[in-house]
Amino acid sequence: MELFDLTGKVAIVTGSSKGIGRAIAERLAEHGARVVISSRKPQPCEEVADAINARHGEGRAIWVPANIASKDELQNLVDRTREAFGQIDILVCNAATNPYAGPMGGITDDQFGKILQNNIVSNHWLISMVAPEMVARRDGSIIVVSSIGGLKGNAVLGAYNISKAADFQLVRNLAVEFGPSNVRVNAIAPGLVQTDFARYLWENPEILKRATEPAPLKRIGQPDEIAGAAVYLASPASTFMTGQALVVDGGVTIAG
């Protein structure tokens, strides 16, 4: 367990009221971390934090709602975390948005701008708020939840995939920048996972068939199957890993 022991560590997980973010927060707590649950709506955040505290003891989780499009709300998330727990050891940038599906010629400027803002710029904002203390302490792990969409072309999810490809480069750049201070920056690239966020994909029989037929495991993933990758990247098990994209996709990118 030492390799994956997060006792005493503090983690912020955005978009953690459900889906992949919630699974990550629950597994980080299970491995000893204190976690901060955050998404736009307060009530779901509170429910997740209460469930973690009921399982692991009071004080293991707090909740701080934040809209990732607001720099002020992200700063409040960071400030409230420091007030409650003293420091931030692990940052998981999981929250993202995708208001459009279809050919690139049909996307509005507002939709494209929202995707780039929430999926790239907001990650940059939050990392910039948290990284200085990690650099000063010479310890920390930053994890960006990207997507295999950033590795492939797609006629329906073009703008979203552009943002996720940019996240991979953000991770590489920051890994080079922070590496000398022993701060690691990595990405997780999930395939299609059964979440509310991706419901319009896996509820469509044609899309589901295209996603699962080429995959060696012949199915889509579950949120908890992504959480283990986050525990690995947050823990001592991955201290020699930085600037990488850990693909968790049932094998679809090697067989499709």
Provide the annotated active-site residues: 160
Q: Which helix (H) or strand (E) holds 6?
A: none
What lies within 8 Å, CB to CB, of 49 at 6+ separation is 35, 37, 61, 62, 63
256 exposed, middle or buried (CB, 10 Å; 0-12, 13-18, 19+)?
middle
Task: Compute the distance between CA of residue 225 and CA of residue 250 in angstroms, rounded to an integer.
Answer: 10
Could you give phi then psi for residue 52, rounded to 5 degrees? -65, -40
- How remote is the C-alpha of 37 from its chain's centroid? 12
Contact 216, 256 (CB under 8 A): no
Task: Compute the distance between CA of residue 44 and CA of residue 21 in angstroms, rounded to an integer.
Answer: 12
Contact 83, 12 (CB under 8 A): no
Q: In what order do the strands lie in the sheet with 10-14?
A: 61-63, 34-38, 10-14, 90-93, 140-145, 183-190, 245-248
200 exposed, middle or buried (CB, 10 Å; 0-12, 13-18, 19+)?
exposed
